[in-house]
């Protein structure tokens, strides 16, 4: 068993542990002094939570399993309030810990619940999906949704550690796994073009947990996230590059009422951001074509319906990158070179979307 450790630096450094069959590493991430561990997991996946709880109990901790709804249905203030009440009933103190087990929505919720209980208790994330491993669980951004938008309520609360057991990816539904590839591909365009070459070398293998380049793709994307959030936890500058493709993506998720996979929305959002970059004179058509080609090769969508534009435009006004009334996008100046595009003219926004709806 080969174990990799990627360090996330900053005020509160922690490790992302990566390997197959690595649950035995979990007690070491929890550390000493912890008595009770609340394990938050999707109610529909007890078979995923069971071995995690077993590893924690075997190390001498008291375990409190707390099932929550699946996916984005978990990320509500009502579910968060239920967790706070459970923390109170089971006597979770500042010296105890929370473990989030599941996809990105579950780790977002677990992190938020831990950040807000007693003004912050220790959290360890155990992502079990590709999206969770390469993006959501790493970085300390936690949050829940409101009727007005996604992740508008949240906090920055770095975990004490992240455990990525690659064995769990075998049971992830194929469409969910492919959705997670969008975040990896995003990393290739904004920071590490070697990712793009690996996918182009074996697009069919990229769709599989057992693919030739799977582990390298995962580790490269986690390293990007670690480097960025270690330098800029609170999204004051550099971290904004991670939002490439997300402005339109979050609007699409709202229109779809979160029935579309996050990665699918991000894939469409990346095409839109690339078209914005091209139409603004920053990149050539070759980069846009490569974006479409790579996304299509792994089975991700690259277009969205034309009649949705007015509603999408309205939702984008509440994007977290906006400053006052000015909308901000992350765009490409070249491969691995990004910059903000602030307050673009409406004609540019519409022209780029016309390309997406084509």
Known binding-site residues for Zn(2+) equal: 183, 246, 262
The CA distances from residue 42 to 142, 171, 282, in Å, are: 17, 15, 43
The closest alpha carbon to 213, from 189, 194, 192, belongs to 194
Q: Which residues are annotated as a binding site for NAD(+)?
A: 70-75, 104-108, 128-129, 141, 150
Active-site residues: which are they?
119, 141, 183, 225, 235, 239, 243, 246, 250, 262
């Amino acid at each position: 068993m080969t174990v990799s450790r990627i360090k996330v630096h900053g005020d509160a450094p922690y490790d992302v542990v990566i390997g197959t069959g690595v649950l035995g590493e979990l007690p070491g991430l929890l550390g000493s002094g912890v008595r009770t561990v609340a394990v938050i997991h999707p109610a529909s996946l007890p078979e995923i939570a069971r071995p995690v709880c077993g590893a924690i109990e075997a190390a001498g901790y008291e375990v409190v399993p707390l099932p929550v709804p699946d996916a984005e249905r978990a990320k509500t203030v009502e579910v968060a309030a239920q967790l706070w009440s459970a923390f109170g009933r089971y006597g979770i103190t500042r010296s105890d810990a929370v473990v989030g087990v599941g996809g990105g929505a579950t780790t977002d919720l677990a992190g938020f619940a831990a950040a807000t209980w007693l003004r912050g208790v220790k959290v360890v994330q155990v992502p079990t999906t590709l999206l969770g491993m390469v993006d959501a669980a790493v970085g300390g951004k936690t949050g829940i949704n409101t009727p007005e938008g996604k992740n508008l309520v949240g906090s920055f609360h770095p975990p004490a550690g992240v455990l990525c057991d690659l064995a769990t990816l075998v049971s992830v539904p194929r469409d969910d796994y492919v959705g997670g590839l969008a975040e990896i591909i995003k990393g290739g365009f904004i920071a590490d073009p070697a990712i793009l070459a690996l996918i182009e070398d074996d697009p069919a293998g990229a769709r599989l947990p057992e693919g030739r380049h799977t582990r390298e793709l995962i580790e490269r994307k986690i390293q990007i996230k670690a480097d960025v959030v270690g330098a800029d936890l609170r999204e004051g500058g550099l971290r904004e590059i991670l939002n490439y493709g997300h402005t339109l993506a979050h609007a699409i998720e709202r229109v779809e009422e979160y029935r579309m996979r996050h990665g699918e929305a991000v894939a469409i959002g990346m095409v839109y951001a690339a078209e914005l970059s091209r139409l603004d004179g920053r990149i050539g058509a070759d980069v846009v074509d490569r974006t479409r080609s790579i996304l299509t090769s792994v089975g991700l969508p690259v277009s969205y319906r034309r009649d949705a534009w007015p509603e999408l435009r309205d939702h984008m006004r509440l994007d977290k990158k906006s400053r006052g009334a000015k909308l901000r996008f992350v765009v490409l100046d070249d491969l691995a070179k990004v910059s903000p595009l602030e307050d673009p003219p409406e004609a540019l926004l519409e022209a780029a979307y016309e390309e997406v709806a084509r």
